[in-house]
Structure 1
Amino acid sequence: MFAEITHATRPGSERPNEDLVIAGPSWIVVLDGATAAAGVDSGCVHDVAWLVGRLGGALAARLAADGGVPLARVLESAIEETGAAHAGACDLRNPDSPSATVAMVRFRGRLEYLVLGDSPVVFSLAGGQARVVSDERLERLPGGRPYSLELVRRMRNAPGGFWVAGARPEAARESVTGELDGGAARGVGVFTDGVARLADWYGWSWESVLAVLADSGPGAVIGAVRELEAARGPVWGKRHDDATAVWGRLPS
């Protein structure tokens, strides 16, 4: 089990926060709902927050009940259950239907991880280094940013594109997964891309991010993001995004 799990989350605007953190004694899950673009028909009567809540609940039930199922299978089953909860009211073939990124860590002597989409998991290793687990496929779409809505629509949950948790359970099989010896790490940070801006945009090392996270807490990491966004602005996209940081401290 983790020795301690702490987290903070902050919305990026007046809109409801579409990030979600759920955790148990031995596991952490962070979801980041994909905000729907204005004017896009999702084919779904539910909003992104509904999808995030349903998927988070399904994941929590599975992780709490059985620690032996591989994380990719846990996610696939949770997506299946969430899809069934639409109860035929939505067009789940629509590529713009609600979706979310997923980052999971489970500690059972070994540290298992799963990343689907641009929410990274970063391990604080015993020697002081950071080991980053990320899914960079969204950053590798053709043409470079800013992406058009049509490009994202065409490449979402498609071979050669990028994968997220939405209506297609098989997306879970495209997750970045693996494990790490629990004795090799002091803790783990789990983040949405609203916090990953510190490393991706503003030049922080992941070692620096983890040091603030461990010493001052998740709220301080989010505060640092907001200060830089205010001073330097975004590299692209939203000025502020929903931002979530979790610190899972391992037993010494």
Structure 2
Amino acid sequence: MRTELVSEPGDPARPNEDFASVALPASGQGGAVIVLDGVTPPRTGTGCLHSVPWFTARLGGALTELTVSLPDIPLAEVLSRALARTADAHRETCDLSHPRTPQATVVLARWSPDSVDYLVLSDSTLLVRAPDGTVTPYADDRLARLPRSALATNALVDANLRNREGGFFTAAADPSVAERAVTGTLPRSGVRALAALTDGATRWVDRFREGDWAGCLDVVREEGAQALVDRVRALERADTERVFLGRSKTHDDATVVLVEL
């Protein structure tokens, strides 16, 4: 088994809001990948005393423990329990009903000798490579399906679309959001490699159109996870006319985790 993990902040002067881990139980009978992309809050506040990195560290730590300590529990239930535990850690000090309470996207993958379970919530991506080289992306595309006009301002997103029917969902304070995640199970024999990427890394495909998902995974497998991040950074710097980036931030936190089974 080969594992590789790279996580780089978009701005060296700001904390990285992503979280990533690979858990390999002592039994040697499986493992898990956990990737979170913290949602950068607006300047107007979140109703919370804690930062996004605090939240992703808490939630990511809980998910890392629970995905391997509860191997028979579905991943949606694992996420629900981890969200409840994290909410309890600051329920007494913070307004968890605030629409911008700290939150994150989620990618989970857990493998055993027989199967690979996956969960994706919001706009991070899981890539799965089959024995024949076919690469399949698993994603929650609800945010991508929203019209651009609906995403004109953060205020409108918070009021009408975030964690609401007809909008999109992120992992915040409500454990029931786990039921909204994209989940599934694959036979272990049909999986040769997994790659979990935050949207700061998937820009190579979905923003700059430099290649498809198979090509993206090839870069990671053949050149390393850092090579993909470096390619994205070069493209971001070159887009001085904002042709591809539009109103998006120039550099975003970028995380890539590769597991070859």
TM over 0.5: yes
Counterparts of 1:36-51 in structure 2, within 5 Å, are 36-38=41-43, 40-51=44-55
Match of 1:9 in 2: 7
Return the alpha-carbon distance in structure 2 between the equivalents of residues 152 and 224 of structure 1.
30
2:197 matches 1:186: no
2:216 matches 1:209: yes
Match of 1:247 in 2: 258
Whether the 8 Å CA contact 1:163–1:171 is kept in 2: the answer is yes
Counterparts of 1:22-171 in structure 2, within 5 Å, are 22-25=21-24, 26-38=31-43, 40-108=44-112, 109-144=114-149, 146-154=151-159, 155-171=161-177
Moved more, 230-239 or 141-150: 141-150
Return the alpha-carbon distance in structure 1 between the equivalents of residues 189 and 37 of structure 2.
29
Q: Once the two structures are superposed, what CA deviation does each residue of 1:46-103 show, in whole Å capped at 9, x if it has no partner?
A: 1111110110111112123121110000000000000100041111111111100000
Return the alpha-carbon distance in structure 2 between the equivalents of residues 75 and 206 of structure 1.
26
1:249 maps to a residue whose letter is E
1:19 maps to a residue whose letter is D
Moved more, 59-68 or 157-166: 59-68
Match of 1:198 in 2: 204
1:149 Cα deviation after fit:
1.0
Whether the 8 Å CA contact 2:59–2:82 is kept in 1: the answer is yes
Scaled by the length of structure 1, the TM-score of the pair is 0.94
Whether the 8 Å CA contact 1:104–1:114 is kept in 2: the answer is yes
**Structure 1 residue ranges, 4+ long, deviating more than 6 angstroms after superposition:** none
Q: Secondary structure at the match of 2:55?
A: helix
Whether the 8 Å CA contact 1:201–1:235 is kept in 2: the answer is no
RMSD of aligned C-alpha atoms?
1.3
Scaled by the length of structure 2, the TM-score of the pair is 0.91
Aligned length: 247
Whether the 8 Å CA contact 2:106–2:120 is kept in 1: the answer is yes
Match of 1:173 in 2: 179
Q: Secondary structure at the match of 1:239?
A: coil
Whether the 8 Å CA contact 2:20–2:36 is kept in 1: the answer is yes
Return the alpha-carbon distance in structure 1 between the equivalents of residues 185 and 116 of structure 2.
5
Percent of aligned positions that are identical: 38
Aligned pair partner of 2:226 in 215, 219, 222 = 219
Whether the 8 Å CA contact 1:18–1:33 is kept in 2: the answer is yes
1:115 Cα deviation after fit:
0.2
Gaps of 5+ in 1: none
Gaps of 5+ in 2: 25-30
1:183 Cα deviation after fit:
1.5
1:146 Cα deviation after fit:
4.9
Aligned pair partner of 1:230 in 216, 229, 237 = 237
